[in-house]
Amino acid sequence: MSIPVTPRPAAAILLLRDGAPHGHEGGLEVLMICRAKAMNFAGGAMAFPGGRVDEADALLAPEGDPLGAFRIGAIREAWEETGMLLARPSGPAATGESEFHAHLREKGVAPDHAALTHFAHWVTPEQSPKRFDTHFFLAEAPEGQEPVHDGSETEEAVWMRPAQVIEEAEAGRRTLVFPTRLNLLRLSRHATAGEAIAAARATPVVTVMPRPEPDGAGGTNLRIPEAAGYGAALWPAKDRPSFGGTWPGQEGSNPPR
């Protein structure tokens, strides 16, 4: 039996806003990016800004916060992929050599880690060839900033209602991976950014590592802890795994979209 790959630490951020300008339909919106099709991990999928946590992220992490480096990583990834920066005007100077640290020094700001609310924790299943230990955070989008995709890792940065993203995936116009779909479903319960953040603050985060199971009809279900707050423990494996390929038995009765 092979030894599971050690998951790499990663972070993602769900940037939220209320309503929409220019006459679009209102309601809670979340910033989505479309990952470049050439990306090895979830290429072509709609996702939240995020990625691996770097060693330099720990240099800016608040002391005593076990999720500090994850918070900084989420803020950095949002800036790298969309240009959106959650920052405050004071704090310890960034001492790293990365482009992100240089940008913080130039602007005289520090990452606003306190603006992030812990929302979810997902670990890639043990049978996966690439594994990530990902913490998801909610935050209200910074005022006066508009997202832009980086043209490299991302091909699109767009505000969408959570239910709209799911509807487009069901219609075959968008691609999702399983954690993104479920986090969108959970987010869609709320009408405003403030409501979603308040609910997250009141809800304990339960680690989720999906476990594939036969669905009895030739397809696959994914089992997650019911206590994680997604409304059910068993979910059909509609989506391709983020690491590529298929879930065991996925080519049966539950074809992915």
> What is the overall mean pLDDT for the chain?
86
Cβ count within 10 A of residue 43: 15
Across 201-212, b (16+ Cβ under 10 Å) vs e yields eeeeeeebbbeb
pLDDT of 42 strictly over 60: no
Determine what percent of the chain is predicted with pLDDT higher than 90. Answer: 61
Ranges 30-34, 48-52, 92-96, 220-224: which has the least confidence? 92-96
Domains of the chain from N-terminus onward: 8-207 (3.90.79.10)
> Over the stretch 102-156, which tens digit does the pLDDT of each residue have?
999 889 899 999 999 999 999 998 888 889 999 999 999 999 999 987 666 667 8
What is the per-residue pLDDT across 176-202, written as a single tens digit (0 to 9) for each?
Answer: 989 999 999 999 999 999 999 999 999
Mean pLDDT of 156-175: 92
pTM: 0.88
Is pLDDT larger for residue 246 or for residue 34?
34
Q: Hey, how many other C-beta atoms are within 10 angstroms of the C-beta on 24?
A: 11
Stretch among 40-44, 191-195, 244-248 having the lowest mean pLDDT: 244-248
Q: Find the distance separating the first CA and the last CA of the chain, reported in whole Å.
A: 31
pLDDT band at 65 (very low <50, low <70, confident <90, very high): very high
> Where are any strands of DSSP class E within the chain?
8-18, 28-35, 46-47, 50-52, 87-88, 110-111, 117-123, 132-140, 154-160, 207-208, 211-214, 220-223, 234-236
| Rounded average pLDDT over 41-51 | 81
Going by pLDDT thresholds of 50, 70 and 90, the confidence category of residue 249 is very low
Number of alpha carbons in the 13 Å side-chain half-sphere of residue 190: 20
CA distance 42 to 81: 15
pLDDT in the model for residue 218: 82
pLDDT score recorded for residue 20: 59
The model's confidence at residue 257, banded by pLDDT at 50, 70 and 90, is very low
Residue with token string 């508009």:
146
Q: How far apart are the C-alpha atoms of 187 and 165, rounded to whole Å?
A: 11
pLDDT at 255: 28
